[in-house]
Structure 1
Amino acid sequence: MGIESALGEGYLTTRLDKLINWGRANAAWPMPMGLACCAIEMMAFAGPKYDVSRFGSEVFRFSPRQSDVMIVAGWTTYKMSHAIRRIWDQMPDPKWCIAMGACASTGGMHRCYGVVQGVDNFLPVDAYVSGCPPRPDAVIHALMKIQDKIKTEHSVLLDT
């Protein structure tokens, strides 16, 4: 069965926001914030074994103005949280956040006054990755959840 017979007259129709969201979902560039031991697993996530390039996220950008997804990997001190928030504020909208690991999600085993008990205290987190350290395939799963979230957003304002 050829493409012409599948499409009938050769036309393919879709909604504009579906097309834009498909492009945005498959080109989510991460901004890595490797703060502790989870950063090693984040590097493995970007390596050839897990092939994150099939999701369009192989390009780690170290400039916040070129990033869509911030991956906070590891425990965060209150002193570092101000710098992370500044980088977050420099990222263009729309943007998403992944809290990678038990320490980024809840503070982990660091129950002390200098460690933030979860980055959701100062950032809006879209996906949480559990584990200490989390597996790279769990980070891919979180990226897929963010892609699903992007695909369901309305990207085009319609007059009603």
Structure 2
Amino acid sequence: MLKVFKNKLEQGCKTSAYPKVPINLYHRFRGLPVIDSNCSSDVVRQCAVICPQEAIDVSARTIDLGRCTFCGQCETVANGAFVKFSQNFELGAANRSDLITGGSLPALADHAKQHFKKLFGRSLQLRQVSAAGCNSCEADTNVLNTPFFDLSRFGIDFVASPRHADGIHVTGPISRNMRQALLDTYEAVPAPKVVIASGCCSISGGPFYGSDEVVGDLNSLLPVDLYIPGCPPHPLTTLHALLQYFK
């Protein structure tokens, strides 16, 4: 027992102080894009051509974060004259249209459904559904249960049964084989319930966009309440979205 106390004193507290204390991510992290709307049309077109996700609208000069995999290819054109990625990880959105951005996102807390805060503000239980994901989104979601993030301290937990859940947290492009399983899981969650689309695959299909083998757009199956873009979303992106929307 004395060794346990000694070890605890030596290691100290490993849990992050976020959100009370800001976190600066590594400089290579790609977060909210900074877009120059006055950039040359030729440069914007080059960015659109090189984008593997067709996420850039040349005429509107916007990027669809629901499709974007944050690969950074557009940032290499003309030394980032049109777009550069910041370290801002606050990417959650309440509406799909909000993810089509010219470089800014509306404050998520202002667009959250207030009755969800009243219902789940003190305790939110989620059932994770991996609908044919590559396991990147799932892995970065699991990280939230580690001592550093300690998701449970906010009253948020992932549970084993949908019957014990307040909603579902969906990752993956939703393959044909997973479609019915996803719908059955949603039906098993007691009302009122929430639906969270996490990662570009569940939002738009991601790299599988346009394939006949996937549904791709979760909102075409279920009413999505919260979108968390990324490929995969950084754990802090997910944590920020959950706290702003529900707390």
TM range (shorter): 0.7 to 0.9
Q: Higher helix fraction: Structure 1 or Structure 2?
A: 1
Q: Which residue of 1 aligns with 2:120?
A: 24
The one of 83, 93, 103 aligned to 2:181: 83
- After superposition, the C-alpha distances for 1:40-95 in whole angstroms (9 at most, x for unaligned) are 1111122222121122013x211111001211022211221111011101100111
- After superposition, the C-alpha distances for 1:1-22 in whole angstroms (9 at most, x for unaligned) are xxxxxxxxxxxxxxxxx9xx65
TM-score of the superposed pair, with normalisation by structure 2? 0.49
Offset of residue 125 of structure 1: 0.8
Whether the 8 Å CA contact 1:127–1:145 is kept in 2: the answer is no
Q: Which residue of 1 aligns with 2:243?
A: 144
Whether the 8 Å CA contact 1:101–1:130 is kept in 2: the answer is yes
The one-letter code matched in structure 1 to 2:127 is M
Offset of residue 135 of structure 1: 0.5
Q: Which residue of 1 aligns with 2:206?
A: 108
Whether the 8 Å CA contact 2:166–2:192 is kept in 1: the answer is yes
Give the percent of matched residue pairs that are identical in Structure 1 and Structure 2: 31
Structure 2 residues without counterparts, runs of 5 or longer: 1-113
Q: Which residue of 1 aligns with 2:228?
A: 129
RMSD: 2.0
Within 1, Cα distance between the matches of 2:228 and 2:214? 19
Structure 1 residues without counterparts, runs of 5 or longer: 1-17, 149-160
Offset of residue 109 of structure 1: 0.8
The one-letter code matched in structure 2 to 1:32 is Q
Whether the 8 Å CA contact 2:167–2:186 is kept in 1: the answer is no
The SS at the match of 2:128 is: strand
Q: Which has the larger radius of gyration?
A: 2
Q: How does 1:7-86 map to 2 (within 5 A)?
A: 22=118, 24-35=120-131, 36=133, 37=135, 38-58=137-157, 60-86=158-184
TM-score of the superposed pair, with normalisation by structure 1? 0.73
The SS at the match of 1:133 is: coil
The one-letter code matched in structure 2 to 1:96 is V
Q: How many residues align?
A: 129
Greater RCO between the two (CA within 8 Å, min separation 6)? Answer: 1
